[in-house]
Structure 1
Amino acid sequence: MAAVKETSKFSETYPMKGGDGPNSYANNSTLQKGYVDAAKERLSKAVAEKLDVDVLLSSNTFCIADLGCSVGPNTFIAVENILEAVEFKFQSQGLNSQIPEFQVFFNDHTLNDFNRLFKSLPQTKRYYAAGVPGSFYGRLFPNASIHFFHSAFALQWLSRVPKQVVDKNSSAWNKGRIHYSNSTDEVVRAYEAQHAEDMECFLNARAQEITDGGMMVLVIPGRPNTLPHSDSLVNVCYQLIGSCLMDMARKGLVSEEKVDTFNIPVYTMTSQELEAAYLTLRFLPLSLQSNLYLTHARAAFEEVIKQQFGKEILDELFDSYLKKLEEQPSIIASGTETAIIFLAVLKRK
């Protein structure tokens, strides 16, 4: 039997902050939870309308995969929402006795804190749980083996930083910046091309792994078609992190060369770039405070920053970041007005 290979193309990993400490993702992901909660009703409606129970009756096990699960608790909430929706679909058709058992695969990068994830599994879970390490931009499962794919707040992460933006000899070299949103057109195009390639890889892999009649639901942060990259809330916050790093470079606290070769591998897509039928959700916090946004940003980006600069700079960097957020409160206030979350629902015919 031939070995299942994961190409080096997908070798870059960006795990969320693990553990259960004050800066961990597990304790700083309430914003993402809000969107998962907001998507529940739409997800249930999609399952009720699109899930083909007749096709699934031949299987005794309903297999669910959550891609980019991180460490919880949001992944457990999303899985429970899916289970409830599927069970209701069977019950609504008078098939109570034929509700299958559930197998849930939790997927994330190999460096994800799976120990924390499985230690915090709900004691009342109604499914068999397994971890699947690896990039979702490549194959993860056998052909036609998954009935339901789910992913929330993961597809904005690229498989890698575009090579051109860290190449001094490239016109897209992103010197002095850590993101595309406040950079040149060449840098923007490099990110756009990487995103398009990654989405193609993602959809091709899932097309092979999903069963006939299977479904996929994706919750993806985005921006309106007419909104410039530079005005997106998350992109503005990346710009602030970059300015903090450059301040530290000018003080000699970090190497300017390391800043020049560091880029955040995140892309905020528009509906036109989402190659699937979608519904848009708006979940706009009425009072999103700077310190709350800081803790969530640190939980998401601490590990990727630490890989480049070491852990010694983290406290000072994020203290500076918080100060800049507090000095410019309009950033969050205006950004939430244009925040968009895409709920994409796809079905295998």
Structure 2
Amino acid sequence: MQREVLEGSKEMIRDAIIRKLDIKIMLSSSNTFRITEFGCSVGPNTFSAMQHVVEAVKDKAYNNHQFTNNIPEFQVFFNDHVTNDFNTLFQSLPVDKSYYASGVPGSFHGRLLPSRSIHSAHSSCTIHWLSKCPEELLDDKSPAWNKGLIYYVGASNIEVVNAYVAQFEKDMEMFFTARAEEIVPVGMMVLVSPFSGYIRLMGFFGSSLMDLVNEGMLDESLVDSFNLPMYFPSPEDMTKVVERNGCFSIEIIELTYPKSKLMDESDAKTLMINLRSSLEGLLINHFGSKIAEEACARTILKSEEISAWMKVNYEKPSQLFIVLKRK
């Protein structure tokens, strides 16, 4: 799924770099172009994304006659949480890479790099992850107590959605404030995120958990206290947080509709296996490995039901594409 998001945005990223990257200004005092990849995981998708950015910047430099005989060197900072398997990441670095690689462990909701050290930042399939679940969802006396559900879609009370939105806005304010310190003036940031349609499918994992509750294999209170720390922003959500922060100008923000093999209604099993890879760790942490395995296995077995649901209800697959420039 992550590879499809990257493939669907490749040409848009290249076009944004060619048209909007002020490479002449950024490299007026240095010949090293620094890129940060937020949410790198362990590859190989991250390597494909970074090589694509490097090649686009090289072409931009070639088109600028000032750099014809002095093409910049590239340094890529791969970022993810401290629990990420950086050993696997660096063991699988492409041998023909055209950049110097470094690892930067830590949450992207805070500062990670020196002031004004980055020329371009990229993040795909990561900004929908919240720093934590909204605290209101964990209080059974709160109006935002999300009984019987594991996320905000389908919640019966607006307080649940509002709690997710508030946490998203708080997290993105931290994210943009940190990036504003790290990115040079006129530096570019590209953010790509699946739109909200993906999270609707995660309800099938929730229904599998409730099946276990109904069979007496799982305490219902454990399901009630579990909420996915994800919020899939709309263009309006992102515009609001960017403008409130005030450090970046919006160069491009749009919903795009790349063709997706995974979203074909006949391939629901493949899609749910992809979603399982994102959710299984969270399920294990909360429910334990035995319940997590059983819930995931049961969800995969619902592929025919999921296919039928997708055929009737699923909207056209889409992703949110954003290009920002540091003021």
User: 1:303 matched to which residue of 2?
Assistant: 281
User: 2:7 matched to which residue of 1?
Assistant: 37
Task: Give the superposition deviation at 1:280.
Answer: 2.6
Q: How does 1:240-251 map to 2 (within 5 A)?
A: 240-251=204-215
Structure 1: any 5+ residue segments left out of the alignment? 1-30, 224-231
Is 2:232 aligned against 1:259? no
Task: Give the superposition deviation at 1:336.
Answer: 5.3
Q: TM-score, normalised by structure 1?
A: 0.85
- Post-superposition Cα deviations, 1:170-214, rounded to whole Å, max 9, x if no partner, equal 111112211111112111110111111112211111111101221
Percent identity among equivalent residues?
Answer: 42
RMSD: 1.6
Distance 1:135 1:328 in 2: 34
Distance 2:283 2:85 in 1: 17
Letter matched to residue 38 of structure 2? L
Is 2:173 aligned against 1:209? no
User: Number of residues paired by the alignment?
Assistant: 310
Structure 2: any 5+ residue segments left out of the alignment? 240-249
Q: TM-score, normalised by structure 2?
A: 0.90
Q: How does 1:107-186 map to 2 (within 5 A)?
A: 107-183=79-155, 184-186=157-159
Letter matched to residue 321 of structure 1? T
Task: Give the superposition deviation at 1:125.
Answer: 1.0
Do the aligned residues in 1 keep the contact of 2:280 with 2:296 (CA within 8 Å)?
Answer: no
Per mean C-alpha deviation after superposition, the further-off stretch among 154-163 and 242-251 is 242-251
Distance 1:335 1:160 in 2: 30
User: 1:21 matched to which residue of 2?
Assistant: none
Distance 2:195 2:260 in 1: 16
Per mean C-alpha deviation after superposition, the further-off stretch among 329-338 and 239-248 is 329-338
User: 1:75 matched to which residue of 2?
Assistant: 46
Of residues 200, 218, 221, the one that matches 1:236 is: 200
Is 2:44 aligned against 1:66? no
Distance 2:312 2:166 in 1: 28
Distance 1:125 1:328 in 2: 40
Per mean C-alpha deviation after superposition, the further-off stretch among 236-245 and 325-334 is 325-334
Question: Structure 1 residues 335, 106: closer, same or farther in 2, change over 3 A?
Answer: farther
Task: Give the superposition deviation at 1:330.
Answer: 3.2
Task: Give the superposition deviation at 1:103.
Answer: 0.8
Distance 2:236 2:300 in 1: 33
Distance 2:123 2:112 in 1: 14
Per mean C-alpha deviation after superposition, the further-off stretch among 39-48 and 243-252 is 243-252
Distance 2:18 2:206 in 1: 45
Letter matched to residue 57 of structure 2? V
Q: Give the secondary structure class of the aligned counterpart of 2:37.
A: strand
Do the aligned residues in 1 keep the contact of 2:202 with 2:275 (CA within 8 Å)?
Answer: no
